[in-house]
Amino acid sequence: MILDQSLNKILIIDFGSQFTQLIARRIRELGVFSEIISHKKIKNKNIDSSIKGIILSGGPLNVYEINRYSFDKEILKNNIPILGICFGHQILSKLNGGKVKQSKHREFGLANVYKKKDSLLIKNFFNQKKIHKVWMSHADQVSKLPKNFRVIASSQNSKFAIVEDKTNKFYGVQFHPEVTHTENGKKIIKNFIFLICKIKKNWSSKDQKMKLIKEVRNQIGENKVICALSGGVDSSVVAQLLNKAIGKKLYCIFVNTGLLRKNEEKQVVDTFKKRLKMNLIYVNAEKEFLKKLTNVSDPERKRKIIGNLFIRIFERYAKKIKNVKFLAQGTLYPDLIESRSVTGSQTSKIKSHHNVGGLPKKMKLKLVEPLKFLFKDEVRNLGLELNLNTEIISRHPFPGPGLAIRMPGIITKEKINILKEADYYFIQGLKEHGLYNKIWQAYAALLPVKTVGVMGDNRTYEYLCLLRAITSEDGMTADFYEFKKSFAQMISNKIVNSIRGINRVVYDITSKPPSTIELE
């Protein structure tokens, strides 16, 4: 159970909807703490006075299957306001004596809802015409309302599109107010949490900063903590939070694998050691990594070698610091939400991702995971609040194995140097043209083929550089970014003219799926 009892909150009970995390984010954007828990985990005894409202999420189940999943119905009897969304609306009606059946017409996509009555839930939601566009995604629907419920709005196919039981403070919407396709959908959530649940704002980066610093101090006391710093957003924010909280009791270890982006090691040392005055241990392990990777071209072997060597080096240096009790990690909230597998499906492992997470097991350290209740955008805001500069905060994600997986085939020092330059020119170009923040992730890769070109009057025979730039929400799916011809031309000229070793540039136009974001 991962409920945080120190703050008032809106609890989201998850029935497996792909939008559950969005509900939590919308509430937090409104300045209120919210938590997600699977309907299989939450029991009535866990409902305490910090819970000021409950949202039942959508989900792929059918209400008649729900007994199999043992949702504790006593939760509905606490006199806490409840909003059911889509499946949540159906289950709320069903458990109060209503009926649910398969719809004659399944509704997916936009639909109009028509206002029938006033309610606090829809204050300022409808316009003068009393019609509103909402986003539906359901095959079942409520066919008979429970006693005490009344209809607030209907759509052509869903008579009970918005309903309420004012006495018990139960509310239901058949559509999804949390998605942006529902115009003004945030209003429904806002009305529910502020007008109906009457919860007060308690969630801003400033509040979080103070709260987290206090908690970390309490947890750690006079002990020492180690942290693997990669220079990425999450580990940087964790390190700086701990730096503020416990100062010199924090020891950060930064391993230069030789597979980092151009000048990255210098930036990390300058920022964390010089500017922020952290205890930073800089380990230059370039040669060790390169040696271990000699003649290795299999992507999974590359990943394993890098992951294992990283752990060994980290342990080697961590042991030199005596009496360490804690290991700090940048685990985020989406990593913790267990309910994704509510339907039993688990995404299959496509690549063995190397994260610093869970490391190092042998040392038996306790974990400090101060970001474990935060979403990525909240981590970024917290980082700004902690005085990290925007360059670190808005950085594109970078994989643990670094440039090794952007260089299919064998890895050599020469190739690494060429790739670092190409990547640098590409990223600089994006920044100079105001494109960097419009793109979720971008990088250059070096392909293990040489092609013929002509420069001046001379024939060249050099490597092929691949550029990838994608837009995405969370890295799970992605689409390639469409550059203007002038930009693409400028970058290709810059790379080919400035870097010896590359004479051709190609752009990756596949989306994910079927491709992945990285090449290996």
Least gap, CB of 350 to ligand XMP (angstroms): 6
Pick one of 72, 338, 508, 518: the residue that binds ligand XMP (CB under 6 A): 518
Say how many residues touch ligand XMP, by CB under 6 A. 14
CB 388 within 8 Å of CB 236: yes
Rounded Cα distance, 165 and 54, in Å: 15
CA nearest 158: which of 121, 120, 104?
104
Pick one of 138, 261, 354, 406: the residue that binds ligand XMP (CB under 6 A): 354
β-pair partners for 165 = 170
Residue 155 has which token pair? 């759509």
Alpha carbon 237 to its chain centroid, in Å, reads 15
Q: Does 399 bind ligand XMP (CB under 6 A)?
A: yes
In terms of CB distance, is 60 or 397 closer to ligand XMP?
A: 397
Least gap, CB of 354 to ligand XMP (angstroms): 4
Q: Quick one: which segment of 45-53, 322-330, 375-383, 393-401 binds ligand XMP (CB under 6 A)?
A: 393-401
Rounded Cα distance, 171 and 489, in Å: 55
Q: Quick one: which segment of 182-190, 257-265, 396-404, 420-428 binds ligand XMP (CB under 6 A)?
A: 396-404
Pick one of 397, 409, 453, 501: the residue that binds ligand XMP (CB under 6 A): 397
CA nearest 212: which of 328, 325, 323?
328
- The residue written with tokens 């989406």 in the block is 334
Pick one of 81, 172, 177, 401: the residue that binds ligand XMP (CB under 6 A): 401
- Strands (DSSP E) contained in 118-246 are 131-144, 150-155, 162-165, 170-173, 224-228
Residue 388 has which token pair? 């990290």
Rounded Cα distance, 149 and 167, in Å: 9
- Strands (DSSP E) contained in 224-378 are 224-228, 250-256, 280-284, 324-328, 366-368
Q: Does 334 bind ligand XMP (CB under 6 A)?
A: no
Least gap, CB of 342 to ligand XMP (angstroms): 23
CB atoms within 10 A of CB 398: 19
Grouping H, G, I as helix, E, B as strand and the rest as coil, residue 505 is strand
Least gap, CB of 212 to ligand XMP (angstroms): 23
Pick one of 159, 372, 494, 512: the residue that binds ligand XMP (CB under 6 A): 512
- Strands (DSSP E) contained in 116-249 are 131-144, 150-155, 162-165, 170-173, 224-228
Least gap, CB of 227 to ligand XMP (angstroms): 16
In terms of CB distance, is 162 or 356 closer to ligand XMP?
A: 356
Q: Does 355 bind ligand XMP (CB under 6 A)?
A: yes
Pick one of 73, 106, 353, 500: the residue that binds ligand XMP (CB under 6 A): 353
Least gap, CB of 251 to ligand XMP (angstroms): 22
Pick one of 123, 217, 304, 351: the residue that binds ligand XMP (CB under 6 A): 351
Rounded Cα distance, 3 and 13, in Å: 12
Amino acid at 70: S
DSSP 124: T
Residues with catalytic function = 86, 176, 178
- The residue written with tokens 């079927």 in the block is 514
Q: Quick one: which segment of 142-150, 366-374, 397-405, 428-436 binds ligand XMP (CB under 6 A)?
A: 397-405
Least gap, CB of 397 to ligand XMP (angstroms): 4
Q: Quick one: which segment of 13-21, 195-203, 332-340, 511-519 binds ligand XMP (CB under 6 A)?
A: 511-519
Cβ within 8 Å of residue 345, ≥6 positions away: none
Least gap, CB of 285 to ligand XMP (angstroms): 17
DSSP H stretches of helix in 458-503: 485-498
CA nearest 436: which of 384, 471, 479, 478?
471
Q: Quick one: which segment of 185-193, 376-384, 394-402, 451-459 binds ligand XMP (CB under 6 A)?
A: 394-402
Q: Does 376 bind ligand XMP (CB under 6 A)?
A: no
Pick one of 8, 137, 141, 441: the residue that binds ligand XMP (CB under 6 A): 441
Q: Quick one: which segment of 98-106, 260-268, 353-361, 479-487 binds ligand XMP (CB under 6 A)?
A: 353-361
In terms of CB distance, is 335 or 518 closer to ligand XMP?
A: 518
Cβ within 8 Å of residue 59, ≥6 positions away: 14, 15, 16, 17, 86, 87, 88, 342
Q: Does 187 bind ligand XMP (CB under 6 A)?
A: no
Residues that bind ligand XMP (CB under 6 A): 351, 353-355, 397, 399-401, 441, 475, 512, 516-518
